[in-house]
Structure 1
Amino acid sequence: MSNRWRSSISRDREPKPIEAEVLAWGDHGDGELHVGSKRLFVAGAIPDELVSVLASKPPKLIKVLTPSDDRRKSPCRYASECGGCQLQHVTPRGQLNFKADRLTRFLHGLALDNLPEVELLSAEDRGYRRRARLSVSYRGGKLRMGFRQAKSNRIVDIDSCYNLTDPLNQVIKALKPLLAQQRAVSHIDLLQLDHAVGLHLRLTEPLQEQQLDAFQSLPGVALKVSRDEAWLVDTPWLVSNNGSSVAYQPGDFLQANTKINALMVERVLEWMAVDEGDSVADFFSGLGNFSVPMAVKGAAVVGFEGSDAMVKRASEAAERSTASRIVYRSVDLFGTQLVLENYNKVLLDPPRAGAQSLCEQLSKAAKVERVVYVSCDTNSLARDLKILVAGGFNIEGLALADMFPNTIHSETIVLLTRV
């Protein structure tokens, strides 16, 4: 067989663009369409659009023939490359519709009747993010600082980020000329503090003294520098948390969106209905995001957290604001058998893995009359809700908090009461 014939066969077998209507949202913010008996999920496509796609692996959007009313021009010039955002081409209204639709589909999969309507908690889609971790590369003698490209380890070099607060973007611009003069920094953590921007440089090799001085001279910056998990510079970071300042270290958990977090705290307080005499267990309590305002309302709160360091910092902050109404304990929350008979109300705010072991224990804890579950992952949430409902709880309230606009991620708040 000649090479010319092989080349001709290869061209004939290449997929050709297909026109099709986008029928629904996929779980990852892509558009679902049908080509014959096949279901394709196409990144960048929006329901109710007529599109031209290439039925390759993965499918590729070639052209939008009839755009949706929910389509917009991506406001960030890095959107086509950066893997941080998946929904910048969708209006804020369309993003909320997608997230609410996905949540409803997941919960209906539980075969539960009479689910309450999903309440939507949202704010601005720009400049909302108060923390970020950026990667740094000097490959080929060229500085790159930014986020990873979608499905790649390649770093997309950025001068600013549409989602970050203005002070964080100002520090990014000030950093670039300093980073170009050395090769020691591998990652950067940024955090909006009360009166400055926290800047953490993670090093792979020592900095020269004049280079370190240049970073320390950046205006409005509280600098931390580490290498091999040892602190070389450790300027204190203080961040507001429900009326008190908490010492924060890189790696601690802190919600990224200040305005949405305030709305979440408000909704959690309403649904927990805490009062004098309530005994509350706050699982995955972190730095006291929910436990502090519950204690201020008069409840006796025990915060359970897996990180010894975060327990220490949360305890120190609580001593300044709520005196003896909060106690924090360091516990492995993914397998430890806990005594739950002392609590009549429980708050759960687990990581993406969820709280399966805790929910199994709560389902048998007859004295627990009310549970509020804050989730960042719908899969683990669905699993855990099945356990709680089978154990005698009823879903009374649902809220979706748009913690991460322009991405497929969100937070869900669920109120459950014992039947």
Structure 2
Amino acid sequence: MVKPGQLVSVSVHSLTDKGDGIASLEGRPLYVEHALPGERVQVRLTTVQPSYCQGTLVRVEQATAGRREDFCAYTACGGCQLRVMSDEAQRVLKRQLLVDALSGQGLSCEVAETLAMADPYHYRNKAQYAVQPGPRIGFYAKHSHRLVEADHCRVQEPVTGEVVARIRDWMQDRAVSAYDETLHAGLIRHLMMRNGVHSGELMVVLVVAESPSEDVLAQLVNKLAPVPGLASLILNINPSRGNRILGPESRMLLGKPVIEDSLDGLRFAISPLSFYQINPRQTEVLYREVVRLAGLQGHEVVFDLYCGIGTIALFLARFAKTVHGIEIVPEAIADARANAELNGIDNAVFHVGAAEQKVPELYQAGIKAEVVVVDPPRKGCEQPLLETLVKMQPQRLVYVSCNPKSLVRDLAWLCKHGFTLEQATPVDMFPHTMHVETVALLTWNRCAVQ
């Protein structure tokens, strides 16, 4: 009978969806962070339960060919689970995750090689740092509110490290307190940054429980003004308890309320609350694959469901007769309309509403799409929407998903009700994590429902 603290030697056979290695120990799964499939590892047990065990990696006794040196100094941060896996091994893994998900639902189709980044670092255009008394600025460790200070992050834009250092210096110099969530006291809660990767513009949002004095804010402006590319400095006030980052009130301290970025020649305005893909370089890759699979000839009516701020819709509008974008968040639709105007695009129409309600309304009004693109949240599509898609019978349905499990569930249902799954392409939007984005193409098969 094994006990906590004991050293064991085990073989790792797979990974959890969080990237932890899984081995077998006395008939139970043993979870080991940073252990890779195919490896023999020595583990010190930390948790022993009747149904599972956990342990820490002590030594790799036999390494897989896909192992590499950890590129990050902040090993307790829970952000990049696959740091010790080579880029090529990650590409293979993410394709296999999609293949396994499809086969688990009895689905088969051509699965392309993973579309991955040539240089998968400094790709994130949004950073959210927690601030705690010290002052300490960093990210939370996995499954906790324990802060891991991180001055330089390999997946964030390099300028974020300079902003972190300047904010820390300002807090120390002016004795500005950090927020203590247990006491609900102190000022500085979070630091958020958004980068326009192609424009070079930087937005800094400092989240506070209450506003500091005017002279202290003036010192903040002076401290951050020299930061390269700084185009927007915003003070956001969040006096509430809880984990919500942004509060209801914002105040401009420097610059403008939005920054701009571009995707494939299209311009987009980004506010603190805008939904905008985290990895713009791979977003271009993803959306080009959507356009390719949509196969537009210029005469089609297209529906873009869960359209957000209109990024996919505006991509498609350049190749279609009309695009109807649907999104439940009114602020996102306002951004989508503004982005259409910003780009001089007049054949994209945006509707506020839940896709599962709005699509049936449009269909009943006689508006039918030849091509439909869906990019739902992780839970996938609602059943009424799937049923309407079957009634509408679009020639091509392009399904974009960030969750293979909900994707294959919906694909299986659609294939049972008249669609044929033609192909699927995994896209690595978040290198060094277990996340994989997928673009799948379905076509309407009339014979299947006759």
TM-score, normalised to structure 1, is: 0.90
Letter in 2 for 1:47: P
Whole-Å Cα distance in 1 between the matches of residues 200 and 18 of structure 2?
A: 37
- 3-state SS of paired residue (1:261): helix
Matched, 1:197 2:205: no
User: Structure 1 residues 343 and 33 mapped into 2: Cα distance closer, same or farther (>3 Å)?
Assistant: same
| Identical counterparts, % of pairs | 26
* RMSD value, Cα: 2.1
Q: Is the 8 A contact 2:399 2:441 kept in 1?
A: yes
- Report the equivalent of 1:118: 112
The Cα shift of 1:13 comes to 4.8
Once the two structures are superposed, the pairs formed by residues 8-407 of structure 1 within 5 Å of their partners are: 13-14=3-4, 16-55=6-45, 56=47, 57-78=53-74, 80-112=75-107, 114-123=108-117, 124-138=119-133, 142-180=134-172, 181=174, 182-183=176-177, 184-193=187-196, 194-217=199-222, 218=224, 219=226, 220-221=229-230, 222-228=232-238, 229-233=248-252, 235-242=256-263, 243-333=265-355, 337-340=360-363, 342-357=368-383, 359-407=385-433
Q: Is the 8 A contact 1:359 1:384 kept in 2?
A: no
Runs of 5+ unmatched residues, structure 2: 48-52, 178-186, 239-247, 446-450
C-alpha offsets along residues 107-142 of structure 1, whole Å, 9 cap, x if unaligned?
A: 111112x4212331111221111111111111xxx1
- Report the equivalent of 1:5: none
The Cα shift of 1:334 comes to 5.3
Q: Number of residue pairs matched? A: 404
Q: Is the 8 A contact 1:275 1:297 kept in 2?
A: yes
Whole-Å Cα distance in 2 between the matches of residues 179 and 275 of structure 1?
A: 57
Letter in 2 for 1:206: S
Whole-Å Cα distance in 1 between the matches of residues 86 and 233 of structure 2?
A: 37
User: Structure 1 residues 415 and 143 mapped into 2: Cα distance closer, same or farther (>3 Å)?
Assistant: same
Whole-Å Cα distance in 1 between the matches of residues 26 and 100 of structure 2?
A: 24
Whole-Å Cα distance in 2 between the matches of residues 156 and 25 of structure 1?
A: 24
C-alpha offsets along residues 309-349 of structure 1, whole Å, 9 cap, x if unaligned?
A: 11112112212324320011111235554434511111111
The Cα shift of 1:245 comes to 2.9
TM-score, normalised to structure 2, is: 0.84
Question: Which is further off, 187-196 or 299-308?
Answer: 187-196
Q: Is the 8 A contact 2:371 2:394 kept in 1?
A: yes
Q: Is the 8 A contact 2:202 2:259 kept in 1?
A: no
- 3-state SS of paired residue (2:411): helix
User: Structure 1 residues 133 and 150 mapped into 2: Cα distance closer, same or farther (>3 Å)?
Assistant: same
User: Structure 1 residues 312 and 363 mapped into 2: Cα distance closer, same or farther (>3 Å)?
Assistant: closer
Whole-Å Cα distance in 1 between the matches of residues 2 and 422 of structure 2?
A: 57
User: Structure 1 residues 36 and 14 mapped into 2: Cα distance closer, same or farther (>3 Å)?
Assistant: closer
Letter in 2 for 1:233: M
The Cα shift of 1:191 comes to 0.7
Runs of 5+ unmatched residues, structure 1: 1-10
Q: Is the 8 A contact 2:258 2:272 kept in 1?
A: no
Whole-Å Cα distance in 2 between the matches of residues 244 and 12 of structure 1?
A: 59
